[in-house]
Structure 1
């Protein structure tokens, strides 16, 4: 069984050495001591959120902290193929459901997208508050799934900014029900061409409830984004991205 994972300050986590004592305080320490009710003798991991993980046995529990004796330290390997979810803002919390599930499934970054047909809008102060909510969401989901890497959360983008940002990834795939090829076929072609022989990055674009407009398809297609369908059924905005990530984890050998 995997050990509970918590997040600690970068300098403190990276400065820990086998045999040393490490104090986990703050919100994470309170969660370990009060909510989880962990006890001396139990083992936990602590990460800096960027893949560096220490493991140890709890030696003492305070009212809002736990102290452990460090047994192991080291950097977890980053995936060879990086996955990014571009998630359109959606009503009813469906965008948040998608981001949470994507984090559990191993996504490396998420991009909030103001799609043309998005009902939810992040403007002004709401943009920063919305992003911070997603930051908290991916942090909690990473901890629950014992991930030492917390996905990056980009600032919200409209389609013009998204088209410019696409240069940051090797390939961008737009999930669309009318696409002529499936996601599996797209990646079979990439593999056959040798495009996946080297480390790569892929962005998966998911539209809102009303779908992606023809104008958005054209604008993203002009910068090389390719449409692909998942299968014979139309999925909700909350499930399309996670479904694609499951398939890509398999196709890219991440699982």
Structure 2
């Protein structure tokens, strides 16, 4: 993909600080289901019930001009802002831009403290997307999902969670916490994640109409490769040699590819109601 804009002003660079012992606290369960199985790891050791502690973080607004990867992230975020601005206007609503925080190793959030080991995530408590850019090395080397559009897909997916938060969709999962069985809760988590994949596809569809955006040949295939690589079934098979559908929190590789592709092909937010779809 190619982006000719200036980049979003809503990127915070906290990579000069960080450190300290990190856990995820605050009782915000959605952050766990967002991260779930991205790395094929059990995250229970990262969850805490009490206040979390982390190192002091120096945060700067914007990204250095001599940092191409950070500039790319700012460009992708700017394109999501432009796409969702129009989508919300069409719904008679106003889109609230999320912040995107770059960090290294560890970060303190309104959802508690997190280690880079958990991968990119969205915190509904402060309306921020968090990413340690070293994740992209894992995406390429561990998951075999190389390419700039695979990286853009990750950002668009997390912004999709922000859209769900603004539209009140995430509350479906919040209301279910403690009220349904673990199996049913996981099923709702899958629906939430697949809708974020759909929203990422919808972004890609509509971004094509932006004057500063250009898709390159093979871009969509890169996104589909990334979606395929981080399906629950594939990650579980790689991690344990077994697949346990009742524990899925993000959806299978096939489901993730289907919903991203549907978002890209339709560009119609009305087609993304995964909660009432039978195609799961």
TM-score under structure 2 length normalisation: 0.25
TM-score under structure 1 length normalisation: 0.27
The answer to which structure has the higher helix fraction is 2
Decide which structure has the larger Cα Rg and report it.
1
The answer to which structure has the higher strand fraction is 1
